[in-house]
A and B are shown apart, each in its own frame.
Chain A
Amino acid sequence: MDELDLQVVGKLAVVEEEAAFFVVRADDLDDWLVRVEKASDFPAREWAENMVHVYNRRLSQQSAGPPTPPGTRPGSYHPDLE
């Protein structure tokens, strides 16, 4: 990816606070992008960590595209019609 085209320059990181996980720029932990509220029925940590993992992997692979192409679903999504 051309740096000029990057949505965020540099890697992302997760910061945990009392009530939420924050996705932040790794080189400035105060510069947050997304807040994921903790709740017993919501995988907040997983959402935050997945966002960071996906973005950092896109950076390292120099890939501008999505890991899962739009419109696609895993094969297990559709019920077996036969």
Chain B
Amino acid sequence: MASKARKDNEEFENGAFAPTGPHDQHSPGEAGAARQEPVPDEADLAAMARERKEHVVGDVSDFSEGSHRVVTVGRRQIGIFNINGEFFGLPNVCPHQTGPLCEGKTTTGTLMANEENDWKFEWAYEGEIVACPWHGLEYHIPTGRCLAFSNIKLRTYEVLVEDGKVKVRV
């Protein structure tokens, strides 16, 4: 069911990506040929989440605070980031020209301006921004949101730490 895995996209928190509602799956190139499927309820979603497999990708000591590295999980590479002790996972592919976006050497922050601060620029999200090493498109790691194009969001993989092991749930 297409909606199962894609429920992750509804975790995006700032409203730019609202829940998508009923998920009519279209096969690529078959726009308009919707396949009706039942909408899962909360119990279904909880069961689906449990179905996702956990993959051990290393020891906690392999991911020091502020560091990140790319691991292979199944048939895709995932960038694992440790930001102030909290772990996040993003696909290692940039939507722009498919560069290895998680292979950027460092993470950084970004300049923000908002109405509450009279539109003055201020540094924000320190350590939470990764830039694709190919052309520099930047993403907010915890949400997967592209800074330049807010309509674009990377999948965020759940990363767990249990018994000293770092695990990705896919």
What residues make up the interface of A, taking CB atoms closer than 8 Å to B?
4, 6-10, 13-20, 22-23, 25-39, 42, 44, 47-48, 51, 54-55, 58, 66-68, 70
Asked if A29 contacts B27 (CB within 8 A), the reply is yes
Q: How would you classify the secondary structure of chain B's contact residues: helix, strand, loop or mixed? A: loop
Q: How far is the CA of A66 from the CA of B137 in the complex (A)?
A: 14
Chain B contributes a number of interface residues (CB within 8 A of A) equal to 46
Q: How far is the CA of A18 from the CA of B49 in the complex (A)?
A: 22
| Residue of A6, A17, A18 with highest tally of chain B CB at under 10 A | A17
Q: How far is the CA of A6 from the CA of B91 in the complex (A)?
A: 12
Stretch at the interface among B56-64, B117-125, B150-158, B161-169: B150-158
Asked if B17 contacts A68 (CB within 8 A), the reply is no
In B49-81, the 8 Å CB interface with A consists of 72, 75-77
Q: B24 touches which one: A7, A17, A22 (CB < 8 A)?
A: A17
> Which of chain B's residues have a CB closer than 8 A to the CB of A58?
98
Asked if B17 contacts A20 (CB within 8 A), the reply is yes
The residue of chain B having its C-beta at the shortest distance from the C-beta of A57 within the complex is B98
